[in-house]
Amino acid sequence: MDEFDVVVLGAGPTGENLAERARAGGLTVAVVEVELVGGECSYWACMPSKALLRPATALGDARRVAGAREAVTGALDVAAVLDRRDGFASHWNDEGQVTWLEEAGLVLVRGHGRLEGERRVAVETADGGRRVLTARHAVAVCTGTRAALPGIPDLAEAHPWTSREATGSGFVPSRLAVVGGGVVACEMATAWGALGSEVVMLVRGSRLLARMEPFAGELVAESLLTGGVDVRFGVSVVKAGRDDQVTLTLAGGETVTADEVLFATGRVPATADLGLETVGLTPGEPIEVDATGRAVGVSGGWLYAAGDVNGRALLTHQGKYQGRIFGQVIADRAAGRELDTAAWGRNVATADERAVPQVVFTDPEVASVGLTLDEATRRGHRVRAVDYDLGGVAGASLFADDYRGRARAVVDLDRETLLGVTFVGPGVAELLHSATIAVTAEVPIARLWHAVPAYPTISEIWLRLLETYRG
């Protein structure tokens, strides 16, 4: 039996950050991983997807500027794009991540780990063996989520893509059906459409990116349609099959054929086979935690859960944020130090409830943080939405001819601070951190007037939003 201060289940970005912070606090840490060290983001999500998308947006940027537009004489080099993608995914080899983990003083245990009661993890190793780890202070579950597939008849026979196949494919399908209208669906429709696929999007709802401001989905849909993507709203797939092609049957009886189909229909926590039942939790469900990362309903306070697996904010950067904080919590509790649990203290995760930043890397990009107008209203805030056409900002007109975009700030009228900000347009992702600081720090509108944007840059949108608010 092996004993450590902390045992971490999952070596993705969340688990790595939590383990590193606990180790920096003087604790011994074992990290259990059944797949590749580095996790979903490194090999099947953030890195390969953005590597697929960047050539398309770079080409789009060039085509939006006179002089550069005339120099663009061809399409994307598919082989070069896929090769670059493979490089960013480290060719699905985790040697570099393993080296980092070892240099950080962490012990890697390869295999599938399951809880076996209090502070005990049993690992089925790759060679068929069994290794039991015990934790003196904490076990942290950082296993993330997995793609969710709907219960459609014969779906397995269609061999559907999930986000993993969509980001890792070594070929461009002639025809690609994308089921869903969220972030993954929009990004992959953008990427594979730019690489030459004939793409049809089958969206059950009435708009894309339904959890964001309505204009975000509208502008992205407009761009996809202009780029040749067939976007269909209010449709549901009820059956799927494959012979020499994929055939999808819609609720009204219509059929759609394609060479491949991507189901981007959500994610579920990867907790079904972790032994949660041995500690009184429900397998397959997210692990509810308090602001310090402790699992709710588990006696003794030894079980933690960080990242997507706890359902608070399903984004890599938020998981890393939680990992840093919860790893510090574990170290501080182990050392008997008093915790800093003030509203923005170092031992509590609050940004994943109040100020979650997110970028959708479509063309145009969508960047948002905090609450939408609808969310703020539903939570009972007295608010005003301040909108501005990004194309009217001097820096944006220099960035691209006929720049199309929009910005919205959601203002708390009682406190005169920002509750949320959304930007849509080419190149807006790099505006997001300024908005995140404004929302997180609750910077008063009166103080923002003294944060002077450089001219002529797109960041001048801040001045225009303030002027519009003042009227």
Across the chain, what does the average pLDDT equal?
A: 97
* Average pLDDT rounded to a whole number, residues 453-462: 97
Task: Please state which CATH number belongs to domain 2-43+89-146+268-351.
Answer: 3.50.50.60
Q: Specify the pairing of strand 29-33 against strand 107-110.
A: parallel
Q: Among the CATH numbers 3.30.390.30, 3.30.420.40, 3.40.50.720, 3.40.50.300, which is that of 364-470? A: 3.30.390.30
Instruction: List the one residue out of 141, 471, 452 whose CA is nearest residue 289.
Output: 141
Assess whether pLDDT exceeds 70 at residue 1. no
Q: Specify the pairing of strand 198-203 against strand 175-179.
A: parallel
Burial class (CB in 10 A: 0-12, 13-18, 19+), 43: buried
Q: What is the pLDDT of residue 354?
A: 80
Q: Which residue has tokens 């076990």?
A: 139
CA 369 to CA 356: how far, in whole Å?
A: 5
Q: Is 362 helix (H, G, I), strand (E, B) or coil?
A: coil
342-385 per-position pLDDT tens digit: 988 999 999 888 899 999 999 999 999 999 999 999 999 999 99
Domain locations along the chain: 2-43+89-146+268-351, 155-265, 364-470
Q: Is 348 helix (H, G, I), strand (E, B) or coil?
A: coil
What superfamily does domain 155-265 belong to in CATH? FAD/NAD(P)-binding domain (3.50.50.60)
130-143 per-position pLDDT tens digit: 999 999 999 999 99
Q: Give exposure, 339-368, as e/b (b: 16+ Cβ within 10 Å).
A: eeeeeeeebbbebbebbbbbbbbbbbbbbb
387-443 per-position pLDDT tens digit: 999 999 999 999 999 999 999 999 999 999 999 999 999 999 999 999 999 999 999
Assess whether pLDDT exceeds 90 at residue 126. no
Are 155-265 and 364-470 equal in CATH topology? Answer: no
pTM of the full structure: 0.96
Q: What is the pLDDT of residue 93?
A: 98
